[in-house]
Amino acid sequence: MNRFAELLDRLSYEPGRNAKLRLIADYLRRTPDPDRGWALAALTGALSFKHAKGGMIRALIAERTDPALFALSYDYVGDLSETVALMWPSPEAERVPISPRSGGEGLGVAGALQPHEDRPPPPAPSPPSAARREGGEKQAPTLSEVVETLSTLGKSQLPAQIARWLDTLDETGRWALLKLVTGSMRIGVSARLAKTAAASLGDKEPDELEIMWPGLTPPYLDLFAWLEGRGDKPSNTDPAPFHPPMLAHAIEERDFETLDASDFMAEWKWDGIRVQAVAGHDEDGHIVPRLYSRTGEDISKSFPDLLESLRLPAAIDGELLIMRDERVQSFNVLQQRLNRKAVTPKLMLEFPAHLRAYDLLAEGDHDLRGHPFSERRARLTKFIEKLNDPRIDLSPLVPFETWPELAAARGDPASAGAGHDAEAVEGVMIKRRDASYVPGRPKGPWWKWKRDPMIVDAVLMYAQRGHGKRSSYYSDYTFGVWNAADQLVPVGKAYFGFTDEELLEIDRFVRRNTVDRFGPVREVTHDADKGLVLEVAFEGLQRSTRHKSGIAMRFPRINRLRWDKPPREADRLETLEKMLSKFENVRP
């Protein structure tokens, strides 16, 4: 448990992806089975314990501490698990201050620093407090003990068991245990990242692991045996497995010069959520349908309405959308369904889920990923016809013969076939006819050509220091536009889009024009004549109660620095309001 706790602790502070990978891989390498398997399960979200809730933990600490001290501490720390982990009383006897003679760690302090003879006699000798732990450390539970015990223990026995464990762990161990049992780890590690780290143990491709993942069960003894060359490759027996998805590169102007339009097909890029819908027969011949997110997370539970439609064995790559009266709704509408925790009949009626199919990866027992796209597309068309379900349709192709023709379609999807769904189109996808379906983001076969972003000129108001490599740079920017009262109101925050060169320029500007400081945040000069205007690009707008301006931007980034523009000429809130109302009018 202590090693796992240390891993969680480091991961929770480490912003860099590569560093996280190294930390996880290092842990998996140093830790024996089955502990490391349970850790991998915890990191990939494969563990959940039902009974442990905040209330129980609060009760445990209330029995052991002074309520006034707890209240002051909780107020200071702000997180229940962390407060309890830190103030949990050690079972060892109260500490007596070290005696002068027991501080025997002195390096070269003899002579010059020796205390004088006439000091009072030292109190009863006691070990330095750093050594107090060791007795307790021996009985600290292993991660396996914790996981196995939690899965069998009844609810009534749980508090006493957790208390016993807390008694044997140190501060970090207690924090990790409480995070684990309450299921709120939030350490910034995706399942994909944890699997990538595991794959690195055997120099395997993460996709290979991803493909077999649904067939594996914690603590993954067979997986580690294979990764360490001690066992056979585990086979995926899942009837409806996830297929690691193929992703596209963004196309640039100059790429077109080298590409022959006749080698490609195009389709709309829908503004929903990329999903994979898979169905297969289990051993008893029953159909097993599953819906996966792009990262392989099983999201079936959130979309029971769509699941019913997956009646034929196949794997479809497509876009999840909300469809009302045969019209695709905007991403804003989809988000309203995603934000709800409970999937009620009312929610499903109001926000009906729909799958728009792009590609067919498998049909029945046939893996089609090695076949050319044109062929898969033809099979997909037939398959959708055969399925004949109102909730699943085919994403239409965009006809074109030359790149300028495709550019015209992208500029005006409504007249190029997207019709009244045009507002839900966020660009076009360009796919090589002869390309097989390759997991990851290979360069060349697939390109995305997004519609031009929306753009406003906003004024830099606050800058915050970044993390990791950027921790000496002011790299997170809050910007605002003018409201009716000629005041700047913040409308968003962006921390990318600029070049390294531009980052240096902004950083210099921030340091020279600071008017106030709040911890890591600096307020910079922003009045009508003096300040920095940022051209901000973004993908969409929605109403937000969290922002003072009432508006939130989707995917904002710094497009350009407008050193030439005085802040008074930056955009106004009305401009954004107009853009927003255009979005909202999409609803029928």
Q: How far apart are CA 44 and CA 50, in angstroms?
A: 17
Least gap, CB of 138 to other proteins (angstroms): 15
Which of residues 67 and 154 has its CB atom nearest to other proteins in the complex? 67
Residue in 160, 170, 179 with CA at minimum distance from that of residue 139: 170
Which of residues 391 and 465 has its CB atom nearest to other proteins in the complex? 465
Q: How far apart are CA 132 and CA 61, in angstroms?
A: 22
Sign of CA dihedral 319, 324, 328, 331: negative
Which of residues 122 and 135 has its CB atom nearest to other proteins in the complex? 122
Which of residues 116 and 230 has its CB atom nearest to other proteins in the complex? 116
Which of residues 116 and 341 has its CB atom nearest to other proteins in the complex? 116
Q: How far apart are CA 400 and CA 405, in angstroms?
A: 6
Which of residues 201 and 315 has its CB atom nearest to other proteins in the complex? 201
Residue in 10, 47, 42 with CA at minimum distance from that of residue 26: 10
Which of residues 12 and 190 has its CB atom nearest to other proteins in the complex? 12
CA 530 from chain centre, in angstroms, equals 38
Q: Are 403 and 261 in contact (CB under 8 A)?
A: yes
- Residues paired with 524 in a beta bridge: 514
Least gap, CB of 474 to other proteins (angstroms): 10
Least gap, CB of 276 to other proteins (angstroms): 35
Q: How far apart are CA 588 and CA 586, in angstroms?
A: 6
Least gap, CB of 130 to other proteins (angstroms): 6
CA 33 from chain centre, in angstroms, equals 28
Which of residues 248 and 521 has its CB atom nearest to other proteins in the complex? 521
Residue 219: cis peptide before it, omega within 30 degrees of 0:
yes
Residues that bind other proteins (CB under 8 A): 6, 10, 12-15, 19, 22-23, 26, 65-66, 68-69, 72-73, 76-79, 82-83, 86-87, 90, 94-100, 102-120, 122-123, 128-130, 132-133, 170-171, 465-469, 471-472, 511, 519-520
Tell me the backbone φ, ψ of residue 455, rounded to 5 degrees.
-135, 135
Least gap, CB of 507 to other proteins (angstroms): 9
Q: How far apart are CA 171 and CA 185, in angstroms?
A: 16
Least gap, CB of 118 to other proteins (angstroms): 5
Least gap, CB of 259 to other proteins (angstroms): 37
Least gap, CB of 69 to other proteins (angstroms): 5
Q: Are 535 and 457 in contact (CB under 8 A)?
A: yes
Q: How far apart are CA 402 and CA 435, in angstroms?
A: 20
Least gap, CB of 20 to other proteins (angstroms): 11
Which of residues 437 and 509 has its CB atom nearest to other proteins in the complex? 509
DSSP state at residue 525: -
Query: Mapping DSSP to helix (H, G, I), strand (E, B) and coil, where does residue 531 land?
Result: coil
